[in-house]
Amino acid sequence: MANLVLYRKYRPKTFGEIIGQEQTVQTLKNAVAMNSISHAYAFSGPRGSGKTSIARLLAKAINCEHPKQGEPCNICSACQEINQNRSLDLIEIDAASNRGIEEMRELKEGIRFSPAKLKYKVFIIDEAHQLTKEAANALLKTLEEPPSHAVFILATTEVHKMIPTILSRCQRFDFRKLRVSEIVERLESLAKQEKAKIEKSALELIALQSGGSLRDAEGLLDKVLTFHIGSDTTKAIGADSVKELLGIVDIHIVAEFAELLLLKEAGKAVDFLHSNLEKGMDPQEFIKNLIQYLRDILILQINPRMEDILAEGFTAEQKEKIREQAKKFEKAQLYKSVESFMEAENKMKYASIIQLPLELAIIDSCGVA
């Protein structure tokens, strides 16, 4: 295993390696191939969806000496500099920690100078929505009169917090949340490159835990592979091993607990909770999975045809179970349960007895006076 974490070790070097953002990738490749480069781009979407990776690829492609159909060659000196993180003309700014007016003034001053070596000086501003009002206004002035050699790429997870006048000066791309199957495909590729044997069911668990973030999924895979260094390499890492290491709560436990809520069996639900906590179940992981499960029931109750939300991560038996529960749950009780457990999840972060908010939510959900 190398010292670099997986998401940095195997950062995509071509647009073809990007998963799940096909339309964005094709549009950017066409722009590079036609030499139709905008002076500013806005990449918005959930964390871990590939915004920064594509921003770096775009910076490389527009500076590549021999691009092929919009793809960087990864051979020329420009590509090599960016791949090796030693280019002076690719400036990455984390707006979360460099959000002030002084940083923007320094950036504005630096823009005036021509690139040290590359064709374009590229500024990638991550979490751009966190810039202060003064800093955002300073950036706006720069975007209004950008020099021909400068390209800005603003990445954000909360595009609604950005100043509309900044967005209006950018070519905007909206990134979508990645599907479990797409993340699994990427994890399979990484495991193969690491020469690690891991069952597909284990990779699916990791993908489900990532919440649609490829970066988080790669981090979890890294953790699993690191834990198994030195173990029997002839035996594949299984789902049970991943569950134990990552503290993943089995869906059967969540479904059984939801059934007790449905039946308003508060006493049995509390006893069931304590029994599983004694076996080492993580209460915070449990409530996170429970809220997701109750939300799935709620969606099915509103529209039974929306079964695609259960397409990944559920067996046929589990799908049938949740469909039955959606039919049986009283609407008022279901809404109350979702609200009670969401509130409990927040309170658990500060509770001296961590399971107490959970217990209170059970009592509230079952309507026990």
pLDDT digits (tens, 9 = 90+) for 208-225: 888 788 999 999 999 998
Q: The CATH number of the domain where 198 resides is what? A: 1.10.8.60
Same domain, 72 and 110: yes
Q: Give pTM, 2 decimals.
A: 0.78
Same domain, 167 and 190: no
Residue at a domain's end among 143, 174, 205: 174
Residue 20 CA to chain centroid, in angstroms? 12
Q: The CATH number of the domain where 354 resides is what? A: 1.20.272.10
What is the share, in percent, of the chain residues with pLDDT greater than 70?
A: 92
Strand 150-156 and strand 121-126: pairing? parallel
DSSP character string of 57-115:
HHHHHHH-SS-BTTB--S-SHHHHHHHTT--TTEEEEETTTS-SHHHHHHHHHHHTSPP
Q: How many folded domains does the chain comprise? A: 3
pLDDT at 309: 62
Residue at a domain's end among 148, 174, 200: 174
Same domain, 21 and 148: yes
Give domain status of residue 1, yes or no: no
Q: By residue range, what is the domain housing residue 89?
A: 6-174
Residue ranges of the chain with pLDDT lower than 50? 1-2
Same domain, 214 and 307: no
pLDDT at 354: 92
Same domain, 40 and 124: yes
Measured between alpha carbons, how far is 48 from 355 in angstroms, rounded to an integer? 31
**Model confidence over 1-28: pLDDT tens digits?**
446 788 788 889 999 999 989 999 999 9
pLDDT at 310: 59
Q: The CATH number of the domain where 147 resides is what? A: 3.40.50.300
Same domain, 259 and 228: no
Helices (H), the chain: 6-9, 22-33, 51-63, 77-83, 101-111, 133-144, 164-167, 180-193, 200-209, 214-227, 239-246, 251-262, 266-278, 283-302, 316-328, 331-348, 356-365
Same domain, 32 and 54: yes
Give domain status of residue 267, yes or no: yes
pLDDT at 312: 57
pLDDT at 2: 45
Give domain status of residue 133, yes or no: yes
Residue at a domain's end among 174, 200, 219: 174
pLDDT at 109: 72
> Cβ distance 119 to 125 under 8 Å?
no
